[in-house]
Amino acid sequence: MSERPEAIDPDVDLHVPDQRAETVGGAKWPVLAVISAGGALGASARYGLALAWPVPVGGFPWSTLAINVLGCALIGVLMPLISEGGRRAHHLVRPFLGVGVLGGFTTFSTYAVEVSRLLARQQAGLAMAYAAGTLLGALGAVSLAATATRRALAARTGAEYGVRTP
């Protein structure tokens, strides 16, 4: 049996046959609908957090940093649960939670504009700190969350088969 190809791109990866097929014919409408609904939910949460935690002009954009790092931690939990190691979930879970909610919650464009605005205001140090801080926070969060989730899943699988895990 050949190994099932695993996605690199969690939004959609055409190397994965199930994902390639999910826009064929009428199947695409529920997929697009849950992505749309999830995106609206995620963006609403981001908008709400930005309103609750406003950043003054020239200030460090803490709210966007927190949103992006949190969203990266959550996708690091989600993807091992629903797609790695041959695990499967309902076919609308990834489109709704991964593509929609987390994709709508996190934002690259706001991050890029905030770095650019700090640069344009000659606040190079703050711009660099924010640019690098978000990158390190996001990549660290996704890596730690994915590792912890995979370990938890492996421990549970091991327990089911009566294997003791350290």
Partner 1 sequence: MTWLLVIVGAAVGAPLRYLTDRAVQARHDSVFPWGTFVVNAAGSLLLGALTGAAATTDTYALLGTGLCGALTTYSTFSYETLRLAERGWRFLAAANVAASVLVGLGAVFLGAGLTGGTLA
| 116 Cβ contact partners less than 8 Å away, ≥ 6 residues apart | 127
Closest by CA to 91, choosing from 36, 153, 23, is 23
Gap between the Cα atoms of 104 and 100, Å rounded: 6
From 4, 14, 157, 163, residue interacting with partner 1 (rule: CB under 8 A): 14
CA-atom Rg of the chain in angstroms: 19
Per CB under 8 A, 91 contacts partner 1: no
Tokens of 73: 């931690």
Tokens of 35: 């992505």
- Using CB under 8 A, count the residues that bind partner 1: 62
Give the nearest distance from C-beta 1 to partner 1 in angstroms: 20
Closest by CA to 22, choosing from 85, 93, 82, is 93
Per CB under 8 A, 24 contacts partner 1: no
Q: Is the dihedral of CA 61, 136, 131, 73 positive or negative?
A: negative
Per CB under 8 A, 13 contacts partner 1: yes
From 18, 21, 23, 151, residue interacting with partner 1 (rule: CB under 8 A): 23
From 63, 126, 130, 146, residue interacting with partner 1 (rule: CB under 8 A): 146
Per CB under 8 A, 32 contacts partner 1: yes
Per CB under 8 A, 112 contacts partner 1: yes
Per CB under 8 A, 126 contacts partner 1: no
Per CB under 8 A, 161 contacts partner 1: no
Give the nearest distance from C-beta 46 to partner 1 in angstroms: 6
Inter-residue contact 141 to 73 (CB < 8 Å): yes
Helix (H, G, I), strand (E, B) or coil at 120: helix
Inter-residue contact 82 to 18 (CB < 8 Å): no
Binding site for partner 1 (CB under 8 A): 6-14, 23, 31-32, 35-40, 42-44, 46-47, 50, 68, 71-72, 74-76, 79, 95, 98-100, 102-113, 115-117, 119-121, 131, 134-135, 138-139, 141-143, 146
